[in-house]
Amino acid sequence: MSNKDRVFVAIYTRPGSSELDSLNSTRSKAKAQKYHWGIWIEPKNGNGSGTSFDLEDSITFSSTTNPFGWRFHIDEHSSLPPRMLGRIMIGKVPETLKVTDVGRALKLVPLPSDPQSPIADVVVWLKAAIEELQQVGCAETFPIDTFIDDALSHAVTWQSKGSGQKKINYTWSRTFP
């Protein structure tokens, strides 16, 4: 039996989004940029505690070379963040790695503000982060663009219903033990 930490893509409401935004998203085709995305790692059978890895953009962190203030952010949580709509499992942390190793791997993914970065926004960063996780064995291999489309569909459902299944398995077994 495996007690490896689980690796998820977490989907959040964006700061400052409103119920009106939610209503509008059900009337027109939602875009991935409407949501905040990140990587979430939690223990097997976790009770909501976990570690989040995501990008933040804030004028507070802006500079001449980083006008939008992008920065890589890691946070430890004792419970699920209130803005989290849900999470989708994409893999497990191999026994040879720790959560800190995952953080180091994700720090290698360029930020949108890095010089000559091919990363345009947090969604493109997420795709590159998933690819990096696939390369280090923390995420299963699957078509990332298809995954983003599937994840976006779940996000829209989670936001419009406000409840229901908030944790989905996207790995080969497709079910939780």
pLDDT at 11: 95
Tens digit of pLDDT at every position of the chain (177 positions): 478 999 999 999 987 655 445 445 445 568 998 999 999 999 998 888 999 999 876 656 556 655 556 778 899 999 999 999 999 999 999 999 999 999 999 999 988 876 677 888 889 999 999 999 999 999 999 999 999 999 999 999 999 887 655 899 999 865 544
Output the six-digit token pair for 162. Answer: 């406000």
Alpha helices, DSSP H, located in the chain: 19-27, 99-107, 122-135, 144-161
Output the six-digit token pair for 21. Answer: 């935004």
pLDDT at 23: 47
DSSP H or E segment with residue 72: strand 70-77
**What are the beta bridge partners of residue 42?**
6
| Dihedral, 75, 6, 135, 175 alpha carbons, nearest 10 | -140
Residue 87: CB partners within 8 Å, gap ≥ 6? 8, 9, 10, 11, 40, 166, 167, 168
Q: Is the alpha carbon torsion for 117, 131, 153, 19 positive or negative? A: negative
Quick check: helix, strand or coil at residue 136? coil
* Sequence-separated contacts (24+) of 162-169 with Cβ below 8 Å: 165/86, 166/84, 166/85, 166/86, 166/87, 167/8, 167/86, 167/87, 167/88, 167/89, 168/86, 168/87, 168/88, 168/89, 169/88, 169/89
pLDDT at 145: 96
pLDDT at 5: 95
Beta strand 70-77 pairing with 50-57 = antiparallel
Q: How many Å separate Cα 89 from the centre of its chain?
A: 10
pLDDT at 69: 63
